[in-house]
Amino acid sequence: MSDAVNPYQSPETMADPVKPLLVQGAITETMLLFLKSTSPWLRFVGIIGFISAGLIALWGILLFALGSVMTQVWASMPGLETVSDLSSSLGAAFGFLTGMLILGAAVLFFVPSLFLYKSGTKIRSYIREGREQDLELALKNNKSYWKFVGIIYIIYLAILPLTIIISITVAVASALS
């Protein structure tokens, strides 16, 4: 091989990339107005999410407690006297599993609500005190919110076809029997 210049090589440029967002004063008055008007809504939706997560968690705890009640209800059902051990196990399992699912839903409500509330709080803090790190944290929480919601949607879209197939299978099986 020789040290000759390759005539077919792509040209190289010496220009530096432009980074307009890193320039001081990049936030305009209009941007600040939009941030200011968004902050209360982010905090409001976050608080509503906290309340919803709490109510859902209470519902899950109630279902845990109803497991024992379901045990008694299933044991007293006509025709189940001979399988009372099975019915008590089914009642306890029903209460436990549904309680766990509902508590999981409460966590799924709480996490994005926390991101929204923190984002709104940091925007408000940035507007009041002007610290750039508050705006950075607000944007970080905003990114985390959308990432969390995106992952939940991906999981939902992955489970949806399976749910449709199972539903169709059960419907056809029940129609044939």
Q: What's the CA gap between 116 and 113, in Å, rounded?
A: 5
Q: Model confidence over 66-98: pLDDT tens digits?
A: 776 766 666 666 665 555 566 566 667 777 888
pLDDT beyond 50 at 19? no
Quote the percentage of the chain above a pLDDT of 90: 54
Q: What's the CA gap between 173 and 167, in Å, rounded?
A: 10
Residue with tokens 């309340």: 51
Model confidence band, residue 15 (pLDDT cutoffs 50, 70, 90): low
Q: How many CB atoms lie within 10 A of CB 141?
A: 22
Residue with tokens 């699912």: 101
Q: Are 53 and 111 in contact (CB under 8 A)?
A: no
Residue with tokens 């929204």: 116
Q: What pLDDT is recorded for position 110?
A: 97
Q: Model confidence over 132-159: pLDDT tens digits?
A: 999 999 999 999 999 999 999 999 999 9
